[in-house]
Structure formats: C-alpha cells, structure tokens
Amino acid sequence: MDFPKNFDFNTIEQKWRDFWEDRKLYESLPNPTKPKYSVVIPPPNVTGILHTGHMLNNTIQDVYCRMKRLEGFEVCWVPGMDHAGIATQVMVEKDLAGQGKKKEDLGREKFVELVWQWKEKNGGTILKQLRKLGASVDWSKERFTLDEGLSLNVRKVFVDLYKKGLIYRGNRIVNWDPVSKTAVSDDEMYYVENRQIVLCKISAREFG
C-alpha cells in the first residue's frame, strides 16, 4: 500500500467527521440503564468566531465527554449559539441604522424575523469551526436563543423560580446600556475615568 508523503488533514479529518455524524455516534437518547452525564457548551455570540479560549474550553469538555462515554455513561453534549441575543440585536440594529431605520419602526415581529435572518446568514461560522475541531457534540440538539421551545422553557423556569421566591425584583445598581435598553455584565464594560462627570456628581450632591 502506498502512503502519501505528507498527512493530508483536510481529507482525513473530514472523512472521519462525516463518518461520526452520518452514523450519529454522538447523539444521546434517554437510557434508564446508564448513568447520565450532560454538558452544555456556554453559547458563544452568533456574530463572532471561536478564539483560542473557546478552543481550549471546548477541547477540555470534549475530553471529559469522551472519557465518560468510555466509562459507560449516556453523554449529552449540547451545542448552542448566542447566550442572550444582545450581540445579534446590536448587529441587526447597526444594519438598520445604515438604512436610516430603528427597530421601533419595524415592530417586534418584523425585528425578530430580521434577527433570525441574520443568524442564518452569519451564525454558521462558529458551528463549522466546532465541527473542524472534531468536537463530539450531539448536533441534533443544537439551540439558539430565540428557538421557540427554548424560550418557552426559560420563561417557565423564571416564573417557577419567582413563585418560589428564589428570584425577585429589586432596585440594584447595574450597568445600563441606554441604546439596547438592557443591563450588561461587568465584563462587557470598558471603564473610562472622566473627572468632569465625577465633579458634576459631587456638585449636584453638594447643592442638593
């Protein structure tokens, strides 16, 4: 048998990815005879691409999932995109702004339709990269923030937690985005010292 001089990863890796996916080797089904092991990939923004941190994180998850399969567990590794939808919303609003429009001009249903169109157009890059990695993900369970069943379950859980008193409304200091009209986490912020603003706040307090 003649072996190629160099390893052709494009041919070999694609061949085995297709083999795994065609035979649904990583799809998980309820199995009462096996212990269960489940991992949800922290969904990256649909607008971006995987960076080195994602690659490392997903490789570690893959190692654990493969190990658990070898140990006899029913493993469910779930892929997803866009953990909150805010990044996609911002990109769609920028696109509308270029046309001289706002999301309020369209109404909720039309805007959601545009978000879905954006996801279909730009959201495939991340999943293609995960496939290139050879990640042993259950692709049949792929989810996106606005999936109907997913959104319904999120609302049900929030209502249930609220009724149990585990979450509640209250006045809190948050990072507020006046454009997207939503709170954002600390790691989404860029802090800039502005002495003029600080002085204005002190003056307002002093002169009450």
Residue 178 falls inside a structural domain:
no
pLDDT at residue 205 tops 60: no
Residue 2 falls inside a structural domain:
no
Residue 203 falls inside a structural domain:
no
What does each C-alpha distance from 121 to 47, 48, 88, 115, 125 come to in angstroms?
A: 10, 12, 12, 10, 9
* CB-based contact 65:75 (threshold 8 Å): yes
**What CATH number does residue 116 fall under?**
3.40.50.620
Residue 96 falls inside a structural domain:
yes
Residue 70 falls inside a structural domain:
yes
pLDDT tens for residues 15-70?
A: 888 898 899 999 999 899 999 999 988 766 666 677 787 788 889 999 999 999 99
pLDDT tens for residues 165-191?
A: 999 888 888 888 887 778 887 877 777
Residues of the chain with pLDDT > 70, as a percent, come to 87
Helices (H), the chain: 9-22, 52-70, 86-98, 103-106, 108-122, 124-133, 148-163, 195-206
Structural domain of 82? 9-173
Into how many domains does the chain fold?
1
Residue 73 falls inside a structural domain:
yes
Query: Within 13 A of 125's CA, how many CA atoms are on the CB side?
Result: 13
CA 179 – CA 181 distance, rounded (Å)? 5
Enumerate long-range contacts of 149-157, CB under 8 Å, 24 or more apart.
none
What pLDDT, on a 0 to 100 scale, did the predictor assign at position 70? 96
Residue 180: CB atoms within 10 Å: 14
Q: Which two tokens stand for residue 90?
A: 């911002």
What pLDDT, on a 0 to 100 scale, did the predictor assign at position 48? 66
The DSSP call for residue 24 is T
Q: Hey, what amino acid is at 90?
A: V
**Coil vs helix vs strand at 75:** strand
Residue 24 falls inside a structural domain:
yes
What pLDDT, on a 0 to 100 scale, did the predictor assign at position 201? 41
Residue 201 falls inside a structural domain:
no
